[in-house]
Each structure stands twice: as structure tokens, then as C-alpha cells.
Amino acid sequence: MIYRIETEEAWQREAISETYLPDDYASEGFIHCSALEEIVDVANRVHHGKEGLVLLCISQRALRAETRWELSGGLYYPHIYGPLNRSAVVAVLPFPCGRDGTFALPSGMPDDSDDLPRADDE
């Protein structure tokens, strides 16, 4: 499973569409995502103190677009090269910051132990 931190407003903006492209897709050329162990660091570094966020939990098996794990700042991050098919989003969790503006993983995280891409998908 990979994860995308997004504003609830942006995620809901085109809720009837089968696919989703964030506002920064045109300039970046891909959708920024994180691995489980990167979520909190990314949230605290990029979104500190922001309200109205959700965490998109994305099944790698169900993704239609290509995903590349690319090096940035010494870590590999998953980047989706194409629209995110909404059917790959298995959960959308509220992702509030604490009083001090920092984040922690939300409760209700889905089990991702069996969500690696199939070998024939690589």
C-alpha cells in the first residue's frame, strides 16, 4: 500500500470522476505518495499545522497507472505516473494535526501486509 496526503476539499472536488489528478500534477508530472514509514515525516515537513487533510490509502495491486519508487533526499518515494483510479483507494482517513501542529498516523489504518504489486505487474 502507498499513501497520499491530500486536502479533503481537493479529494472531494471531483468525487464523481473515476480518476483523480491533484492540482500539482501538471507541474510535477506525477502524483507524490509515501510509504507507510514515510507518512508522518512527510506530513510534519510539508503540511505542519495544516487542517482539513485526509490520508488516501492506495492499493498498489489495484493501481492502473505506473508507479516508480524514486530517490529523493536519501529515501525512495512512490510516484504515480498517471491518473489515480479511485477504485485503488481502499480507505480515506481523516488526518488531523495535533495541537502543536504535528501529525501521527491516524487510527483505522488498513492492513497492507498483502498489497505488494504482483510480479507480473513489474
Span 7-16, pLDDT tens digits? 999 999 988 8
Which CA distances in Å does 101 have to 22, 43, 97, 105, 108?
23, 10, 5, 13, 21
**Torsion angles phi and psi, residue 62, rounded to 5:** -90, -10
End-to-end CA distance of the chain: 15
Q: Largest alpha-carbon pair distance within the chain?
A: 45
pTM higher than 0.85, yes or no?
yes
Q: Which of 108, 78, 77, 67 is CA-nearest to residue 91?
A: 108
Q: Does domain 2-98 have CATH number 3.20.170.20?
A: yes
Task: List the chain domain ranges.
Answer: 2-98
The label of the residue with cell 479511485 reads: 86
Phi, psi of 45 (to 5 degrees): -80, -40
> pLDDT, tens digit, for every residue of 43-74?
999 999 999 999 999 999 999 999 999 999 89
Encode pLDDT of 79-98 as tens digits: 999 999 999 999 999 999 99
Q: Which of 4, 1, 15 is nearest to 93 (CA)?
A: 4
Q: Is-contact 94 49, C-beta < 8 A?
A: no
